[in-house]
Amino acid sequence: MTRRIEFKQHGLPEVLDFVEFSCIAPNPHQVQVRNKAVGLNFIDTYFRNGLYEVPAFPSGLGFEGAGLVQAVGSAVTRFKPGDRVAYATGPLGAYSDVHTLPEDNLVHLPKSISFEEAAALMLKGLTVQYLFRQTYRLKAGEIILFHAAAGGVGTIACQWAKALGAKLIGTVSSQEKAAIARSAGAWEAIVYREEDVAERVMALTGGQKCPAVYDGVGKDTWETSLNCLAPRGLMVSFGNASGAVKGVDLSSLAQKGSLYVTRPGLPSYANSADSLQIMANELFAMIDQGHITADIRQRYSLADARFAHEALSAQKTTGSTVLLP
Ligand SMILES: NC(=O)c1ccc[n+]([C@@H]2O[C@H](COP(=O)([O-])OP(=O)(O)OC[C@H]3O[C@@H](n4cnc5c(N)ncnc54)[C@H](OP(=O)(O)O)[C@@H]3O)[C@@H](O)[C@H]2O)c1
């Protein structure tokens, strides 16, 4: 019996049902994966609640997972049944016992990395790879601001920045989360409910502010993020945890110092089998060298995905969360 999480309309976590479904044989270029672990990501809540549209209803959910190949299409050359694999770039439907996806969206998973670790690190780790190594190439000694530093992407960012010798200032909602961010490698953590973020950043940087701000929170932090940027700094707005940023006033970018803004997404960086493999190789090397470890702090059975969504949306999770089929 094959089961997956499915939803027939957008809404709160209770729209997520755990249902039986029949998975069809892979087409010539597809690979069918029996999932061993599935990653929970904030983007999954956007597809569930309708901030992002799904191609059709009923819809599957989720982009990230790891498992064993159970069948391959006739034209597939790089994978065979029994291979250990991981993925993070879609299509939707990872919240499932079995997921079928294009060969180009898969990578071989090294034996040194467990399925759970891969499900926790693939999407979030590849995101940090492009944020720090491609969108803005972070250099040793630089001070940057990173919001939601105790979250899934955030705890990986803390570790990666430290490995690069950069000083990451993280924002978090509580002292407990500040401790998590610091132990992951943040240079400093600002509890935004207790302190003025822009003032602290100004003090911590000796008035210089930051060459780049990484903002996955969106609406609530947009203005603060701009105020933390040095002249000609780069605003990397990569998520909407508090809501989407709308109606950007371009002239304010000039007034605040000729700022640059980018709104990046993983699919436009991992946009081919080659680029995905290059990014994954770098992530796997960081893991193998001990710079990055999976910080899995919540595990749910796949059937309980709705409870995982409730916790993530209510800011109750820290580090990564995996769903287990
Ligand atoms: N563009 C891309 O390629 C890409 C890829 C991956 C992730 N992302 C984005 O990166 C962000 C982090 O993703 P994640 O999966 O690692 O999630 P996460 O950071 O584990 O969870 C989101 C965190 O955002 C903070 N937050 C602030 N205001 C919030 C609000 N109103 N509601 C909920 N959370 C709020 C919370 O931390 P505090 O309690 O400390 O405030 C919360 O724990 C998300 O915006 C996601 O969409 C983007």
| Residue range 204-245, pLDDT digits in tens | 999 999 999 999 999 999 999 999 999 999 999 999 999 999
What is the whole-number distance in angstroms between the Cα of residue 282 and the centre of ligand 1?
23
- Is the pLDDT at 154 greater than 90, yes or no? yes
23 confidence band (pLDDT: 50, 70, 90): confident
1 confidence band (pLDDT: 50, 70, 90): confident
Residue 87 β-bridge partners: 65, 106
What is d(CA 323, CA 34) in angstroms, rounded to the nearest whole number?
Answer: 14
Least confident residue range of 19-23, 112-116, 195-199: 19-23
Question: Mutation test of ligand 1: which of 42, 224, 268 has the most ligand atoms closer than 8 Å to its C-beta?
Answer: 42
Pocket of ligand 1 (CB under 6 A): 41-43, 123-124, 127, 148, 150-154, 172-173, 177, 216-217, 220, 238-242, 264-266, 312-313, 315, 317
Mean pLDDT across the chain: 98
- Cβ proximity of 31 and 98 under 8 Å: no
Average pLDDT in the 183-187 region?
98
The per-residue pLDDT for 11 is: 98
| Residue range 24-78, pLDDT digits in tens | 899 999 999 999 999 999 999 999 999 999 999 999 999 999 999 999 999 999 9
CATH classification (class only), 140-263: alpha beta
Q: How would DSSP label each residue in 298-320?
A: EEEEGGGHHHHHHHHHTT---SE
Average pLDDT in the 299-318 region?
98
What homologous superfamily is domain 3-121+280-324 in, according to CATH? Answer: Medium-chain alcohol dehydrogenases, catalytic domain (3.90.180.10)
Question: Mutation test of ligand 1: which of 315, 318, 323 has the most ligand atoms closer than 8 Å to its C-beta?
Answer: 315
What are the distances in angstroms from CA 277 to CA 40, 90, 163, 255? 22, 15, 21, 41
Domain boundaries of the chain, sorted by first residue:
3-121+280-324, 140-263
> Above pLDDT 70, what percent of the chain?
100
Per this entry, what is the length of the chain?
A: 325
Question: Mutation test of ligand 1: which of 195, 217, 242, 262 has the most ligand atoms closer than 8 Å to its C-beta?
Answer: 217
What is d(CA 16, CA 309) in angstroms, rounded to the nearest whole number?
Answer: 9
Secondary structure element (H or E) that encloses residue 86, with its range:
strand 84-87
The per-residue pLDDT for 151 is: 98
The per-residue pLDDT for 215 is: 98
